[in-house]
Structure 1
Amino acid sequence: MALRVVSSLLVGLLLLHTWGAWADVQVNMEDKVEVVLGETAQITCMFTPENGTGTDATIIQWFYVTRSNEKVRIYYRDAKSNIAEQGTPFTDRISMNGSIAAGKMVLTIRNVVLEDEVEFICLVKILVDRTGEGRTKLRVFETPNFLTIEAVQTGLSVSDEEPSKIGTCEVKNGYPKPNVTWYRNNTPLRAIPNVLNVASSITTESSGLYSVKSELSMRVMKEDKDAEFYCEVTYFVPGATQMIETSRINVTVYYPHDAVNIWVESPAGKIKEGDKLTLHCEGNGNSPSSVFTITHLNDGGSWETDMLELYNVSRLNSGVYTCESFDPEFIAESSVSHNTSVFVNFLKPAVVTPEETMEVRQGEQLQATCNALSSLPTNTVWFKGGVEVSNGHSLIIGDVTFDTSGIYECVVTVPEIEGMSTSSALNVNVAGPPQITEKDSDIESTEKSVQLECHARGYPAPEMAWTTSDGKVTKTTPTETESGFHSVFTVQVSSNITAVCQASNKYGSDAVTFNIKATTHTTTTTTTTTTTTPATTTTISSTTVVTESVIPPKKIQKESNGVIIAVIIICILLLAILGAVLYFLYKKGKICGRSGKQDLTKGKSSKDNIVVEMKSDNTEEAILLGVNGEKQPPNDQVDK
């Protein structure tokens, strides 16, 4: 604590030395007392009491010095009174306590306001001729609030010749006045004429507190694009100095390109004809006014863009592409450029020799080649019907047959690039006499007509004709199939007949014979006889027998008569068997009773009544016979 000896003490000593009549009282007080706004302040006045004198001889008075340097008493105490002066700013907020005997009196000021920041005087008077005074300054503090920082929203160009505004910091309601300092990347900034400027404005609020606004302006450089700016606010509190920082801001700095780059963005890897080519151009600047131009030096094509897309490229798109950047805002800066080479790989269509179709004689050797011009190594494979038959540019097949005929596909691929391929086809015809796939065969038919089929292979396409044993010749137009030629012929069958299919071309012919035998069906029908008695019903049935007769050729007439005779004999035997059965039944009395003719109408349960029911396989009509074999009408049937 700093102690101050009042200057009046020196004056008193001088007067004492001069006059020798009295001595001043020694009063000690702090130089300053610090207090937060709104709190209570205590100012201590310490003095040396006179030995041998009572407290009644001591007077204590408190004064404050106005801003116009006037001294106004605010408190008085003597032996008879202890009062605060009326009509002062402190009247209702001050009190004094302490001990005169101990030489210590304390002035208390409650609810301190900013106007209380003045100088206070403690005047001590002992007896009539001894006085002393001490002085203390009251300091009031308030912590600021609402600390903010705001960056400029527009971009700043390095080409600006005057400092550009970076941002603004503001702190409000502090006392005493806070101090604001700008920082760039932790380095404090100081004003530099025409380069960096910090402008601050102080506002005294209605409350008497201070608000400070600080604005930073500077000429930016390319390095400032990543710089961090912030403010540091220093403010005072009782007995100390404190600091607070704002958040950090960045600004957008526009600067020209001093280097550019161009590259193939897609496709990745090698480029082939038909691809979509994307070229990308980029610089290391960020000026929004920059203009990029991509130029194809080979054909002079030019595009004002930083990304070029070419669809379905060909080998003509190969060459050198240049990217150039120009910025009208930075005219003083020279334009920059960069180039890259593009090569479009190609694979020409496959060429087969001989072209499209070739003819080779049966038994000879097939030779063909397939080639495709390419910028990269190729691989060639031959296929027939989806099956690989050869690997390499040449196709060689010895001792050809009709099976050698067909379409051969030559596929040329580039192993280094997936999907890069071409193909061509060769139609091979093996020339030779026709070959019929069917063999001579015998056919039996019960139908009036038979459809015959004949398949032949051969080249040139054979002519196909049918010849029958009756001397008729029929030419047909064959249908071409994958396996050769197909002919269909319908022959009428009334008797045994022979048909010959013949296929021929300029190299020869082939034939096949079909022997057709005609057959017929003979049907014999027998009847079923049912014998009914009151106790039992006996059924005799005969199944229809179908006998198949083969009609031989007309020249074998003897065999046909023998068959007819055999059929007649079989029928006579069947009739004889039927007669024997009927005779047997008669003897047993099952058909005709020995008692003679019976009346069938007498009753339903007569033991001697016999009803014979005969049915034919071809009719459902029932015939009732009486015991004498007489036919009975249906309504005379005996109920069963």
Structure 2
Amino acid sequence: MDARLSASLLAGLVVLLHGFTAWAVVELNMEDRVEVFKGETAQITCMYTSDDGIGALTIQWFYVSRTGEKQKIYYQDATTQEVDRGTQFTDRITVNVTAATREVVLTITDVQLKDQLEFICLVKSLTDGVSEGRTNLLVFERPDFPTIEVVQTGIYVNKDTLSKIGLCEVKNGFPKPNITWYQNNMPLGGPSDVVKIVHSITMESSGLFSVRSELSLKVMKEDKDTQFYCEVTYLVPGGTRMTETNPINITVYYPSTAVHVWVESPKGKIKEGDTIMFHCYGNGNTPSSVYVIRHGENEYGLDSNMLVLENVTRLQSGDYECISTDMETYEELSGNTTVFVNYLDPAVVLPVDMEMAQGEELTATCNALSSLQTHTAWFKDGREVSVGHTLTVKDATFDTAGTYKCVVTVPEIDGMERMETLRVNVKGAPEIMKPEDTDIKASLADTVDLTCYVRGFPTPSVIWTTADGKVLETTSQTETEDSVHSVMSVDVTSDLTAFCNASNVYGADAVTFNIKAKGSGVIIAVIIICLLLLAILGSVLYFLYKKGKICGRSGKQDFTKEKSSKDNIVVEMKSDNTEEAVLLGVNGEKLPPSNQ
């Protein structure tokens, strides 16, 4: 019996058996929707209830096209299972029937956006009981991360029209993502003449959606510190997701309502010679604003809202006005500050120079005109000698003479100071500052420097002399108005007495230097060494003579030597067995043996 005949008999048997029972009723249960990400696998479950067994059921799957037509994609009965050819699902679907749980599952792999359709599960029993269920397949795709762009130029306030703030965009999402603008964490919205948001939607060739949103706003001054950002919401299987862009700031230009000018440096009081730095700013920030500072008839342009005046004088005291001009509206605003430059005139000392006799009283004054309280002090040789405008010295001496410095300062301002000098000369006869030691011992051939320091006015003349009145040459001499510093160098050959003589129109003074010459140990040592060398030389000559190395001893030899001098010297030497030698002296005299 072939398979087709067996199937017909089986079907007839089933019909016969059902002829004795009630009609079977098929019931289906399906979800309203199945959600899945693009590219993933979707499973659509059709649960049925029937008194018939699986072999008595016919199962079919359909989808509803976008034009509303029902298109079959799968058929199954007791003997056949087949997928319809030529549909978009032909190669991507499988159907699995589980009799135990009475489930029919349609599986679709690699789900695409075009698969977002309505699917129909139809179950028919052999007793003509038919039922169908429907499920919508929803496909999702996460969009790219959103981007935000801010306008690159500044935005002016108080304009009649709205100003473009920025553009927000999100690409490649499915279904369409939504964009919401936020300002400082608050969603933007309001009247169309204050806030305007324009969305544009684009379907890409892939079928995904891209959304652009442009924000325009009537900008206020308060918006200068505002942060704007976009929130993007999009659907995913089972819920909604959200992402945000980075926040952006806008540059807001707003006009000034006030201008302020002040002295940045120096801090505190200003003095002549200082460098003044002015700052001038308005409370607006429009780039079209131009700033200048006026002082009297002078007008100064500003560099980076700053003006620098160097080496100022008292003539630059007064009011300084900073003027801001908006070059678009030509509106002007101004602010003022007052500057006072303190001064201290040069010090004036009276009298300029003084000549006075010993015992007289010195009185001098020092004054300097200033805008502030001053302090005056007198100094001599670096030491403070008086405080106040008047200098008084009683009973003048040579110690009174010298240079006095008057220093006038302003205690309130560091570095504010003036100085002037007073030269005082005290008339009188010379006074030699006596050296500590005028008795000097020196070795022969040494050089001794004698120093003589003399005070007196007019400047004394200084002469060095010896005891016998001989004038010695001065080695060096330094003179001031009331003193002389003289140095004389002498080579020691014997004892010497030298005088330093000082004189002027008022008298004279002198000091005596005694130099004692002493023997030199070096010279004595040299003499002793020379004597020793002569003694050694004589001994050597005598030894050579005794050995016959000088004037041979084997025969009598006469030597005669003529000399161009007045006398002739003849030397005669004899040699005999007794080795006696006779030396002839000058003019032929015979020398005794002791002189040989």
Indicate yes or no: 2:324 matched with 1:350: no
Structure 1 residue 338: Cα displacement: 2.3
Q: Which residue of 1 aligns with 2:105?
A: 106
* Partner SS for 1:145: coil
**Alpha-carbon distance between aligned partners in 1 of 2:67 and 2:540, rounded to the nearest angstrom:** 165
| 2:48 equivalent in structure 1 | 47
Matching residue within 295, 298, 302 for 2:299: 302
1:131 paired residue number = 130
SS in 2 for 1:389: strand
List per-residue Cα deviations over 1:72-110 (Å, max 9, x = no partner).
Answer: 111111122111111111111112122457543121111
The superposition leaves residues 332-360 of structure 1 with CA deviations (integer Å, 9 ceiling, x where unpaired) of xx643322222212111111111x21222
Output the amino acid matched with 2:290: V
**CA distance in 1: counterparts of 2:73 and 2:541, whole angstroms:** 161
* Aligned twin of 1:319: 318
2:179 is the alignment partner of 1:180: yes
Between 1:68-77 and 1:119-128, the stretch displaced more is 119-128
Q: Which residue of 2 aligns with 1:429?
A: 425
Compute the displacement of 1:24 (Å): 6.3
Work out the CA distance in 2 between the residues paired with 1:102 and 1:81. Answer: 21
Q: What's the CA shift string for 1:49-68, capped at 9, x where partnerless? A: 03xx4434321111111111
Q: Secondary structure at the match of 1:223?
A: helix
User: For the Cα contact (< 8 Å) 1:436–1:510, is it kept in 2?
Assistant: no
Distance in 1 separating the partners of 2:273 and 2:240: 74
1:578-632 Cα distance to aligned partner (Å, 9 max, x none): xxxxxxxxxxxxxxxxxxxx975348xx6x7589999xxxxxx9x998655798x
The TM-score with structure 2 as length reference comes to: 0.74
Cα displacement string for residues 416-444 of structure 1 (whole angstroms, at most 9, x for unaligned residues): 222211101111122345556689x999x
Report % sequence identity: 53
Partner residue, 1:340: 337
Check whether the contact 1:45–1:106 (CA below 8 A) recurs between aligned residues: yes
In 2, Cα distance between the equivalents of 1:64 and 1:452? Answer: 136
1:27 match: 28
Out of 359, 362, 370, the position equivalent to 1:374 is 370
Contact kept in structure 2, 1:534 and 1:610, CA below 8 Å: no
Change (3 A) 1:191 1:199: farther
| C-alpha deviation, 1:71, in angstroms | 0.7
Q: Which residue of 2 aligns with 1:588?
A: none
Partner of 1:394: 390
Stretch of structure 1 that moved more, 322-331 or 217-226: 322-331
8 Å CA contact retained: 1:235, 1:243: yes
**Alignment-mate amino acid for residue 109 of structure 1:** I
Residues 189-227 of structure 1, C-alpha deviations (whole Å, 9 max, x = no match): 126323222222222122211111222121211111111
Contact 2:256–2:282 (CA under 8 A) maintained in structure 1: yes
* Amino acid of the structure 1 residue aligned with 2:39: G
Aligned to 1:115, the other structure's residue is in SS state helix
* 1:124 and 1:133 in contact (8 A); partners too: yes
Quote how far apart the aligned CAs of 1:471 are: 12
Which structure is larger by alpha-carbon Rg, 1 or 2? 1
Q: What per-residue deviation string (whole Å, max 9, x for no partner) do you get for residues 478-500 of structure 1?
A: 984354358999xxxxxx99999
Structure 1 residues 630 and 216: alpha-carbon distance in aligned structure 2, compared to 1, 3 A threshold: closer
**8 A contact 1:600–1:626 mirrored in 2:** no
Change over 3 Å in CA distance of 1:144–1:536 after alignment to 2: same
CA distance in 2, matches of 1:171, 1:267: 56
1:289 corresponds in structure 2 to: 288
Contact 1:40/1:112 (<8 A) preserved: yes
- 1:383 match: secondary structure: strand
Shift of 1:230: 0.8
Count of aligned pairs: 511
Q: Which residue of 2 aligns with 1:582?
A: none
Residue in 2 that maps onto 1:363: 359
* Shift of residue 25, structure 1, vs aligned partner: 3.5
Paired residue secondary structure (2:328) = helix
Report the counterpart of residue 201 of structure 1 in structure 2.
Answer: 200
Partner-residue secondary structure (3-state), 2:395: coil
Distance 1:535 1:435, change over 3 A: closer
Deviations 1:87-134 (A, max 9, x none): 111111112122457543121111111111111111122235321211
3-state SS of paired residue (1:288): coil
Report the CA distance between 1:147 and its aligned residue: 2.1
Matches within 5 A, 1:261-272: 261-272=260-271
- 1:385 paired to 2:386: no
Tell me what 2:507 maps to. Answer: 509
Query: Given the superposition, is the C-alpha separation of residues 612 and 108 from structure 1 closer, same or farther in structure 2, using an over 3 Å criterion?
Result: farther
The structural deviation recorded for 1:501 is 5.7
Conserved? CA contact 2:375–2:411, under 8 Å: yes
2-side partners of 1:146 and 1:453: how far apart?
A: 100
**Counterparts of 2:218 and 2:319, CA distance in 1:** 40
C-alpha distance after superposition, 1:305-348 (max 9, x if no partner): 221111111111122222222223355xx643322222212111
Segments of 5+ residues of structure 1 without an aligned counterpart are 1-20, 490-495, 520-524, 538-597, 615-620, 632-640
The change in CA–CA distance for 1:48 and 1:349 in structure 2 (over 3 A counts) is same
In 1, distance between residues paired with 2:500 and 2:225? 100
Identify unmatched segments of 5+ residues in structure 2.
Answer: 1-21, 472-476, 489-495, 518-526, 544-571
TM-score by length of structure 1 reads 0.70
